[in-house]
Every structure is written in C-alpha cells, then in structure tokens.
C-alpha cells in the first residue's frame, strides 16, 4: 500500500501545483485546508475565499479535502508571542513561529489522525538525504527561497515533510498550473501576516495593544519629535516619523536607530550611512538546530530577513545562545528578529536575536 501524503492546500497556486506534482509522482494524496484566523469582520482575512479556492483545486485534481481550524493554537502559540514582542519594542516574525507551531506542529499531529505518513506544502525549499541524515536546503529559485521561514521547524518533522516545489522556478509553477488548467492558476500570491492577511498594520495592532506616545530623540538625548507608540516603528525605518527640518542640523533624512522601552523613547539618526544603523555583532537566544549541532565555534553565513542576502558570520554558541561576529556589517538588526544560520545552501537552524 502506498503511503498517504497530506498536502496543506491553502487555495493558492503554489500548494495547488505541489498537489499536482505529488499525484504525478504516484503519491496517494489527500488535501488539508487550515483556517487559523477566525475573525473576518473587517474583510481583510480571506479565509472564506481561500476555502472555496482550495475546494475547487481538490475537485479539479479529484482528491479528498479536509478542513480544520487551528485558530486556538494559532492565538496561543503564535499570536500571543507576536503581541508580546511588539509590546516589548521588539520585531517578531509570526510566519516563522507559524511554521513551527502550527504547520509542522498542530497540523502535523492532525496528519496522524488522517493516517498520513507525510505532510507536503507549497514552500520553496528542499530536503535532501546527506551523510548523517536529512538536510534543509535552499530552493533552486533563490528569489522565492523560503528556507529562512522554515529554520525553526522541529528537526523531527524533516523526515515527514515534502516540498515538491523546491526544484522549480516560480515561473515554471505558474506554467504548470496553466497547462493543467488549475482554477487558481492566475490567483495572486498571498501577502501579509501568516493566516491573517494583508491589512493596515498600524490600525490592526492598535486593536490589541494600547499605543503609548513618547519622545523621539537623537543619540545625544535631544528631543526632535514625538512618536505615537514604539510598536509602530522598526529599526532602519525612514519616513512616518514626522520630523521636519531642524535648525542647526544637517538637511538629511531621519532613520530609526534604536528603541529604549525603559523610557519609551525612539532613537533616530540622520543619514543612510550612520554607523548606529549597522551592527558588527549580535547575540541570540538558544539555537534550534536542524542538523547535528556544529562545533562550538564555526564559520558560516547568517540571514535575518526573508530575501536578504546571507552574510559571512563567525559563530560561538552554547546552550544559552550564540554570539555572532559579522565581518560585513548588517543593517537594522532588531531584537525579536530571527537569525538563521547557513553553510552554503544548507540551513543549519537559527534563533531569536536578543
């Protein structure tokens, strides 16, 4: 009997083509559609449309489709951390937590209930057998590579995960969808927060956290404006600060360089090349490794944002976390972001920047 493969069918073109490829490869495929954000009063969450799109794909491919809500798990394991991070002045990444806690956590457990051996998704990444075990690798399409978003997935999930799109360029995925006449072949890619969708972020965040205005200051402590809440600003941000020209100061744009939550102060500097906008070192919390842990000191690369080019890094780590030295400075390194460690195309794991 063939092992059953459950495809996480979102309603988008990527997961639809992933399902198509699995069928063509001879898998026994069933689909699972997750609805993880229950609130849709404002019309920004596309849960209803996504479900209808997923159903249409399942019908076109003649595969069963199951529907499940992990809204409670999402709120408890992902969204609560997201809000706590912003309340602390950090820059959290809910998409990474969502992959760890929901897609390869709660969802993988549900796959067991369905009798599935594997969970497949439309992520652009690769899993390969190499000496010593499985390895998470970057996708062939460097522009679409999503290994950064997957670096916190449980190591145990690697043996049960399938990423059929890892060897394909995005353009080829669209072509396959059109050739197979999949009903979502022209559907736009989803954007915005995982499962919540694209919406006015400031207004959305203010529904859950109370904004606290405070001073905007230079590193020397000179107040140059007032912010409406630290949570509305990110390190490296230009614009939206409401700082005009200041007598006695250069006529250069202002950038967010730091946050001081203890004083509720936003620290800003002038000029895109200001040294306080770049870091040559950072510290992280405990590292989650996707492979056997490397030596306590190793050389590799680090990536702190999706689609950002990885830069060389010298890493010293122990059970408490990692200290990373960067020969090439990184711009706008923010607490709460995730640092993913690489050696070439292999993603080793990663940790939260502290």
Q: What is the pLDDT of residues 290-318, one digit of tens each?
A: 999 999 999 999 999 998 899 999 999 99
278-352: CATH class: mainly beta
Q: What is the pLDDT of residues 171-198, one digit of tens each?
A: 999 999 999 999 999 998 876 565 555 6
Q: Exposure pattern of 125-153 as b/e (b: 16+ CB <10 Å)?
A: bbbeeeeeebbbbbbbbeebbbbbbbbbb
What's the pTM? 0.92
Whole-number pLDDT of residue 352: 98
Domain ranges in the chain with CATH number 2.30.30.280:
210-272
Domain ranges in the chain with CATH number 2.40.30.10:
278-352
Count the Cβ atoms, other than its own, within 10 Å of residue 57.
30
Return the closest-CA partner of residue 291 out of 162, 127, 149, 144: 127
Q: Which CATH number fits domain 4-201: 3.40.50.10420, 3.30.70.980, 3.40.50.300, 3.40.50.620?
A: 3.40.50.620
Annotated catalytic residue 45: no
Active-site pick, 45, 107, 194, 347: 194
Q: Is the predicted pLDDT of residue 44 greater than 70, yes or no? A: no
Domain ranges in the chain with CATH number 3.40.50.620:
4-201
Active-site pick, 45, 98, 107, 347: 98
Annotated catalytic residue 194: yes
Whole-number pLDDT of residue 194: 55
Cβ atoms of 114 and 32 within 8 Å: the answer is yes
Q: Which CATH number fits domain 210-272: 3.30.43.10, 3.30.70.100, 3.40.630.40, 2.30.30.280?
A: 2.30.30.280
Whole-number pLDDT of residue 196: 59
Whole-number pLDDT of residue 242: 87
pLDDT band (50, 70, 90) for residue 131 = confident
pLDDT band (50, 70, 90) for residue 38 = low
Q: Is the predicted pLDDT of residue 39 greater than 60, yes or no? A: no
């Amino acid at each position: 009997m063939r092992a059953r493969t459950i495809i996480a069918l979102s309603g988008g073109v990527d997961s639809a083509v992933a399902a198509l490829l699995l069928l063509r490869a001879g898998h026994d495929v069933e689909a699972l559609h997750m609805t993880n954000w229950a609130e849709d009063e404002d019309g920004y969450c596309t849960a209803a449309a996504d479900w209808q799109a997923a159903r249409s794909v399942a019908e076109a491919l003649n595969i069963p489709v199951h529907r499940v809500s992990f809204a409670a798990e999402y709120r408890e394991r992902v969204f609560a951390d997201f809000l706590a991070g912003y309340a602390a002045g950090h820059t959290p990444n809910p998409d990474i937590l969502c992959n760890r806690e929901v897609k390869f956590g709660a969802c993988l457990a549900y796959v067991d209930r369905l009798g599935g051996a594997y969970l497949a998704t439309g992520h652009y990444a690769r899993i390969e057998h190499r000496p010593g075990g499985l390895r998470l690798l970057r996708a062939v399409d460097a522009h679409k590579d999503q290994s950064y978003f997957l670096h916190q997935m449980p190591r145990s999930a690697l043996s049960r995960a399938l990423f059929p799109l890892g060897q394909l360029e995005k353009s080829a995925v669209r072509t396959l969808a059109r050739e197979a006449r999949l009903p979502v072949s022209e559907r736009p890619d989803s954007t915005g927060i995982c499962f919540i969708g694209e919406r006015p972020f400031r207004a959305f965040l203010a529904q859950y956290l109370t904004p606290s205005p405070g001073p905007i200051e230079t590193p020397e402590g000179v107040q140059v404006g007032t912010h409406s809440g630290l949570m509305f600003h990110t390190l490296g941000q230009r614009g939206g600060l409401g700082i005009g020209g200041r007598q006695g100061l250069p006529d250069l744009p202002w950038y967010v360089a730091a946050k001081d939550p203890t004083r509720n102060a936003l620290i800003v500097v002038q000029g895109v090349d200001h040294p306080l906008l770049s870091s040559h070192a950072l510290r992280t919390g405990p590292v989650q490794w996707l492979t056997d842990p490397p030596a306590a000191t190793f050389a590799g690369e680090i990536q702190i944002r999706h689609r950002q080019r990885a830069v060389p890094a010298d890493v010293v780590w122990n059970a408490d976390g990692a200290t990373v030295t960067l020969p090439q400075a990184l711009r706008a390194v923010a607490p709460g972001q995730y640092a993913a460690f690489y050696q070439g195309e292999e993603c080793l794991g990663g940790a939260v920047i502290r």
